[in-house]
């Protein structure tokens, strides 16, 4: 990698995937303070505080509306990238994050819980555009990843780096870990700092906004979308650090010709196409299972889970940071082993580990009154869920979706998978507190059942896709 290429890769990942991870975990630490702010504001407005049910509902909306914003952003990203290019789309999204940070940062001063909710929805819109949108939806359409999961040609290095599913989870884990560290009582975990804690997103967004203008537009966008051969050549020379880029230009021209001859199917056509019905069902099962596995509940409500497990309140922030560090290590392991071990072993092992650990949390909660040491088993199970997710389910579905379809069906498949991701993310973020209130320790058995069923489906239905052509994969499904 040349320095410009490495720099833009890190910049985009820092301001997109890492910011997405930060926003997933940032509401965990200040939950008590945000609820207290909501209750105090309500009391000032109406003369009485909120009952526990409506307060939980309002906070659940604050947590989960991030995913609704992400859904809208991911559906709009194709049009935005086609109109403004990669740099233009990212710059405009960064402006939205700065606006969102301002809303959340001044919410307490203005006594407005609505500003927190609006800010969360706008950060979701950014994540949908940049992290899951540009990377998972529009990226594969522009890059045409080959059936062997290696992106075609040298030009593949110039797309948004989040399309490479194997390293995208690492930056998400780093974002989650950063939120956990900043949420320590010694840093921004105190009551007076929670608006600043939520508005930290302004810093990476501002850096991305300032530095993106130092880099050329994506060469692939310039040539394939805008037919700007001169601009693409200049950008390639800048990124590669060499004047001889004619071979790459010819390769991209060939891909432009191949793309022009491909008729893209719509989402409705994909769902009705019987020739790929098992592939489509597999995308639905794996992507929905990834979010319904309980990982979002862990990220959104870690402190609550540890509190219910009997961990002393003073130790919870540091326990949470420890789980975040293990999460980063697990993500690195998954990144470096995915091409050696294959997709199936990682995703099956990951879901099985998550299912077993979810059942383990239930057992630990039921026995902790008689066996105090069971609280540590509960913490170990939370760590197991996070590690299992990061090693397989976090990144494999994005690679697998590209490998199960031809170029004509791939964009629609990513729209289906991405939409399910956001919808299931919203569902878990919104209903988990109520599920926990109504079923207690047994709520984790729901996640256990989902994880084991997804693992069984992958074992029985989905073949190994590593180093296989689309025709080979299609024949196995048939």
Kindly state whether residues 211 and 342 are assigned to the same domain: no
Give the end-to-end CA distance of the chain in Å, rounded to a whole number: 40
Helix runs in 106-192, H state only? 113-130, 139-143, 168-182
Show which of 215, 244, 277 is a domain's final residue.
215
Number of structural domains the chain divides into: 2
Contact call for residues 289 and 432 (beta carbons, < 8 A): no
Q: How far is CA 226 from CA 76, 84, 219, 247, 451, in A?
A: 19, 11, 10, 19, 44
* DSSP output for 245-304: -HHHHHHHHHHHHHHHT--PPPHHHHHH-GGGHHHHHHHHHHHHHHHHTTHHHHHHSHHH
Residues of the chain with pLDDT under 50: 133-165
Q: What is the pLDDT of residue 452?
A: 96
Burial class, 109, CB count within 10 angstroms (exposed 0-12 / middle 13-18 / buried 19+): exposed
- The candidate with the shortest Cα–Cα distance to 402, out of 292, 295, 287, is 287
Contact call for residues 166 and 399 (beta carbons, < 8 A): yes
Contact call for residues 138 and 264 (beta carbons, < 8 A): no
Q: What is the pLDDT of residue 354?
A: 94
Whether residue 459 lies inside any domain: the answer is yes
Whether residue 240 lies inside any domain: the answer is no
* DSSP output for 66-127: HHHHHHHHHHHHHHHHHHHHHHHHHHHHHHHHHHHHHHHHTTTTTT-HHHHHHHHHHHHHHH
Burial class, 260, CB count within 10 angstroms (exposed 0-12 / middle 13-18 / buried 19+): exposed
d(CA 304, CA 316) in angstroms, rounded, equals 9
d(CA 329, CA 234) in angstroms, rounded, equals 38
d(CA 82, CA 139) in angstroms, rounded, equals 11
Q: What is the pLDDT of residues 342-355, one digit of tens each?
A: 788 889 999 999 99
Show which of 184, 199, 215 is a domain's final residue.
215
The CA-based diameter of the chain, rounded to the nearest angstrom, is 73
Whether residue 225 lies inside any domain: the answer is no
Kindly state whether residues 276 and 160 are assigned to the same domain: no
Kindly state whether residues 37 and 149 are assigned to the same domain: yes
Kindly state whether residues 199 and 310 are assigned to the same domain: no
Kindly state whether residues 302 and 402 are assigned to the same domain: yes
Whether residue 221 lies inside any domain: the answer is no
Kindly state whether residues 205 and 301 are assigned to the same domain: no
Helix runs in 138-192, H state only? 139-143, 168-182
Whether residue 241 lies inside any domain: the answer is no
d(CA 130, CA 218) in angstroms, rounded, equals 15
Kindly state whether residues 328 and 393 are assigned to the same domain: yes
Q: What is the pLDDT of residue 2?
A: 63
Contact call for residues 40 and 33 (beta carbons, < 8 A): no
- The candidate with the shortest Cα–Cα distance to 290, out of 167, 385, 173, is 385
Element (H, E) at 366: helix 343-367
E strand residue ranges, 329-425: none
Whether residue 167 lies inside any domain: the answer is yes
Residue 142: which CATH number? 1.20.1250.20
Whether residue 254 lies inside any domain: the answer is no
The domain of 66 spans: 1-215
Angle at which helices 202-211 and 3-15 cross, to 10°:
150
Name residues whose C-beta falls within 8 Å of residue 185's C-beta, 6 or more positions apart in sequence: 317
Q: Which long-range contacts (CB under 8 A, 24 or more apart) does 232-239 make?
A: 235/158, 236/155, 236/158, 238/4, 239/2, 239/4, 239/5, 239/8, 239/157, 239/158
Contact call for residues 321 and 187 (beta carbons, < 8 A): no
Q: Fill in the DSSP letter of residue 218.
A: P
Kindly state whether residues 192 and 270 are assigned to the same domain: no
Q: What is the pLDDT of residue 172?
A: 84
Kindly state whether residues 60 and 158 are assigned to the same domain: yes
Contact call for residues 55 and 38 (beta carbons, < 8 A): yes
Whether residue 292 lies inside any domain: the answer is yes
Kindly state whether residues 338 and 469 are assigned to the same domain: yes
Contact call for residues 30 and 301 (beta carbons, < 8 A): no
Name residues whose C-beta falls within 8 Å of residue 247's C-beta, 6 or more positions apart in sequence: 154
Q: How far is CA 100 from CA 19, 35, 66, 124, in A?
A: 13, 19, 11, 10
Provide, for the chain, the percentages of residues in helix, strand and coil under a 3-state DSSP scheme, each rounded to the nearest 5: 80, 0, 20
Show which of 183, 215, 247 is a domain's final residue.
215
d(CA 452, CA 217) in angstroms, rounded, equals 44
Kindly state whether residues 290 and 194 are assigned to the same domain: no
d(CA 37, CA 115) in angstroms, rounded, equals 12
Compute the CA torsion angle 129, 133, 138, 140 (nearest 10 deg).
150
Kindly state whether residues 328 and 200 are assigned to the same domain: no
Contact call for residues 160 and 177 (beta carbons, < 8 A): no
């Amino acid at each position: 990698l040349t320095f410009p290429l490495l720099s833009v890769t890190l910049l985009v990942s820092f301001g997109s995937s890492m910011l997405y991870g930060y926003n997933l975990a940032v509401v965990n630490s200040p939950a008590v303070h945000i609820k207290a702010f909501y209750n105090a504001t309500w009391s000032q407005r109406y003369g009485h505080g909120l009952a526990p049910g409506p307060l939980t509902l309002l906070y659940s909306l604050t947590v989960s509306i991030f995913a609704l914003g992400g859904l809208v952003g991911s559906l709009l990203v194709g049009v935005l990238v086609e109109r403004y290019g990669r740099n233009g789309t990212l710059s405009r999204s960064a402006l939205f994050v700065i606006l969102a940070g301002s809303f959340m940062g001044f919410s307490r001063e203005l006594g407005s819980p609505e500003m927190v909710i609006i800010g969360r929805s706008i950060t979701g819109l950014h994540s949908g555009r940049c992290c899951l949108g540009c990377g998972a939806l529009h990226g594969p359409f522009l890059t045409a990843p080959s059936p062997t999961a290696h992106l075609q040609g040298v030009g593949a290095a110039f797309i948004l780096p989040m399309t490479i599913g194997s390293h995208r989870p690492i930056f998400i884990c780093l974002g989650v870990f950063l939120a956990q560290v900043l949420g320590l009582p010694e840093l921004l975990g105190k009551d007076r700092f929670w608006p600043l804690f939520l508005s930290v997103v302004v810093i990476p967004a501002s850096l991305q906004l300032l530095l993106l203008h130092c880099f050329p537009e994506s060469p692939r966008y310039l040539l394939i979308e805008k037919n700007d051969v001169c601009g693409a050549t200049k950008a390639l020379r800048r990124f590669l650090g060499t004047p001889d880029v004619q071979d790459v230009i010819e390769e991209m021209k060939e891909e432009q010709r191949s793309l022009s001859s491909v008729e893209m199917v719509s989402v409705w056509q994909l769902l009705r196409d019987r020739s790929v019905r098992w592939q489509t069902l597999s995308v639905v099962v794996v992507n929905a299972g990834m979010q319904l596995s309980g990982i979002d509940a862990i990220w959104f409500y870690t402190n609550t889970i540890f509190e219910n497990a009997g961990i002393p309140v003073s130790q919870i922030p540091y326990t949470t940071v420890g789980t975040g560090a293990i999460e980063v290590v697990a993500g690195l392991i998954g990144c470096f082993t995915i091409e050696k071990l294959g997709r199936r072993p990682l995703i099956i092992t990951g879901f099985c580990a998550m299912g077993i650990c979810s059942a383990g949390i239930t057992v630990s909660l039921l026995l902790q009154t008689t066996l105090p040491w069971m609280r540590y088993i509960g913490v170990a199970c939370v760590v197991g869920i996070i590690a299992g997710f990061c090693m397989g389910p976090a990144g494999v579905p994005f690679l697998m979706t590209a490998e199960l379809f031809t170029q004509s069906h791939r964009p629609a498949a990513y729209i289906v998978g991405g939409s399910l991701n956001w919808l299931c993310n919203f569902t878990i973020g919104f209903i988990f507190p109520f599920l926990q209130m109504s079923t207690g320790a047994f709520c984790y058995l729901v996640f256990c059942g989902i994880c084991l069923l997804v693992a069984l489906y992958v074992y029985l239905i989905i073949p190994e896709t590593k180093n296989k052509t689309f025709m080979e994969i299609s024949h196995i499904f048939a």
